[in-house]
Chains A and B, each alone.
Chain A
Amino acid sequence: MKEKSTLSRRVFVKKSAGAAALLAMPEIIPSNVFGANDKVRVAVLGVNGRGTTHIEGYMNLPDVEVACL
């Protein structure tokens, strides 16, 4: 099942603070990183502490959309 909805940082943090954050590991949040003509799809493995930082890192880049798989 693939959801292409954008996930704001606020929504992501809220989600990860809920059921997802407590124990499940590794967890997968793929993101789309769009270039002019190409896009790089990135999956973040593990979304506790460092994973949240990773997702924020990609979201800070221009033309980045984090989508939920």
Chain B
Amino acid sequence: MQQQDLRKVYEDKSIDAVSIATPNHWHALATIWACQAGKDVYVEKPGSHNVFEGRKMVEAASKYDRIVQHGVQLRSSVAVQEAVKHLRDGLIGNVYMARGLCYRWRDDIGDKGTEPVPEGLDYDLWTGPAAKQPFSRNIVHYNWHWTWNYGNGDVGNQGVHVTDVCMWGLNVGLPEQITAAGGKFLFNDAKITPEVLSSTYYYPKEKKIIEFDVRPWITNDEKGVTVGNIFYGSEGYMVINGYDTYQTFLGRDYKPGPSRKEGGDHFLNFIQAVRAHDKSLLNAPVETAHLSSALAHLGNIAYRTGRTLKFDPATEKFIGDDEANALLTRPPRPPYVVPEKV
């Protein structure tokens, strides 16, 4: 027997923690409700569907003293942890650029049109905090990723592993200037989010830059990477491939340096932090859920507005751009509302 309503679970005092694997548009609200109900949370990436709700997740976890882990498993990889330590310790010198790659096959999904809601699906509940639109098999399952009401494109899907490592490796928060371009160039299907997206995130104070590329079809890899990162420093470069591998190449002759392949258990890390009730044990704490997701959202907003955006990381608002600021959140759909005050 399945329980469709997560609110019933939150009322169950015997449940200590929830693991949220719903579509993106539910992640933040489900996390906030869980925190309010005194449950610890493992939330799938992206932690949030928009920037405002991501910040509210951070506030809720803090206010209710909950353990919140972001489902970016490479944070628990021993090799990737070692790679980031090398970046901090200066192995490749001054690290000024991170490249993020998200090259996954995303086939034509066709256009199945709309149809009546199938029996057994509580579509109002499924829709939850999103804007309600007619039911389509192009949305349920999985392909909701490609409709803004529910998903965030591939930069806000597979790409969040990669945005997270870009920021972690460069040791930066959110950027001050964002540009993006892309589009649907391959298929005439029901996807709305761009198939191809190239975005640039600029950090003028830190003198750093993130270049991010999403491609859905035939492409070259880059140093073997289709999903992962390349970090560029004054003394060398580092390749992080997938969830558990890194290599380094040092000096003008690209001499192979330290490398390693080793994973880790991200669920175990969560359970250990829950048992100890110690958020300092978490490898992917809630702040990283918010920031890595927000980076994806900022790129999407630059794409949707079609212009270079100036952003204030302190207030988490765009500067002088009402249209862009409106896309940092979404209209409330009671009772599924992320509150201003959690």
Residue in chain A with minimal CB distance to B73? A57
In the complex, chain A residues whose CB is within 8 Å of the CB of B6: 26, 28, 45
Question: Smallest CB–CB gap between A19 and chain B, Å?
Answer: 7
- How far, in whole Å, are A48 and B142 apart by their CA atoms in the complex? 8
- A42–B266 CA distance with the chains assembled, in angstroms: 15
- Within the complex, what minimum Cβ distance (angstroms) separates B229 from chain A? 22
The answer to whether B22 touches A46 (Cβ under 8 A) is yes
Q: Pick 24 A–B contacts, CB within 8 A, sort by A.
A: A1-B1, A22-B120, A23-B141, A24-B121, A27-B3, A28-B4, A30-B9, A30-B12, A35-B275, A40-B17, A40-B274, A42-B17, A42-B19, A43-B9, A44-B18, A45-B6, A45-B20, A46-B44, A50-B21, A51-B21, A54-B19, A54-B21, A60-B265, A61-B271
Residues of the B chain whose Cβ atoms lie less than 8 Å from the Cβ of A25: 4, 22-23, 121, 126, 140-141
With A30-B15, A42-B15 already in contact, 16 other A-B pairs whose C-beta atoms are closer than 8 Å? A3-B1, A24-B2, A24-B4, A24-B121, A25-B140, A25-B141, A26-B4, A26-B6, A38-B275, A40-B275, A43-B19, A45-B20, A46-B44, A48-B141, A49-B141, A50-B71
A61: B residues at CB distance < 8 A: 265, 267-268, 271
Residue of B with least CB distance to A20: B2
Any B CB within 8 A of the CB of A8:
no
In contact, B265 and A45 (Cβ under 8 angstroms) = no
Interface residues in A6-59 (C-beta closer than 8 Å to B): 19-20, 22-30, 33, 35, 38, 40-51, 53-54, 57-58
Give complex CA distance A42, B6 in Å.
13
Contact pick for A69, options B1, B16, B17, B30, CB 8 Å: B1
Q: Mark B102-124 against chain A: 1 for CB-CB distance below 8 A, else 0.
A: 00000000000000001011100
A23 contact from B3, B9, B121, Cβ within 8 A: B121
A48 CB, min distance to chain B CBs, angstroms: 5
The count of residues in chain A whose C-beta lies closer than 8 Å to any C-beta of chain B is 36
- Smallest CB–CB gap between B274 and chain A, Å? 5
Measured between beta carbons, the chain B residues less than 8 angstroms from A20 are 2
Report whether B16 and A40 are in contact in the complex, using a CB–CB cutoff of 8 Å: yes
A interface majority secondary structure: mixed
Instruction: Return B276 CB to nearest CB of chain A, in Å.
Output: 11
Question: Does any Cβ of A come within 8 Å of B42's Cβ?
Answer: yes
Whether A68 contacts B120 by the Cβ 8 Å rule is no
B26 interface residue per 8 A CB criterion: yes
Do the beta carbons of A54 and B3 come within 8 Å of each other? Answer: no
The residue of chain B having its C-beta at the shortest distance from the C-beta of A48 within the complex is B141
The reply to whether B23 and A46 form a contact with Cβ atoms under 8 Å apart is: yes
Q: How far is the CB of B100 from chain A (nearest CB, A)?
A: 21
Q: How far is the CB of A13 from chain B (nearest CB, A)?
A: 15
Are B2 and A42 within 8 A (Cβ)? Answer: no
B220 at the interface (CB under 8 A from A): no
A42 pairs with B16, CB closer than 8 A: yes
B188 interfacial by beta-carbon distance below 8 Å: no
CA–CA, A66 and B6, complex, Å: 18
B193 shortest CB reach to chain A, Å? 18
CB contacts (< 8 Å) of A69 on chain B: these are 1, 3, 9
- B14 within 8 Å of A (CB atoms): yes
Task: Considering the complex, give the chain B residue whose CB is closest to the CB of A30.
Answer: B15
Q: Is there an interface contact between A26 and B22, defined as CB atoms closer than 8 Å?
A: yes
A43 near B18 (CB under 8 angstroms)? Answer: yes
Evaluate contact between B2 and A57: CB separation under 8 angstroms.
Answer: no
Please give, as numbers and ranges, the residues of chain A lying within 8 Å of B30 by CB-CB distance: 26, 45
Instruction: Please determine whether A57 and B15 come into contact, CB atoms closer than 8 angstroms.
Output: no
Report A-chain residues with C-beta under 8 Å of the C-beta of B17. Answer: 40-43
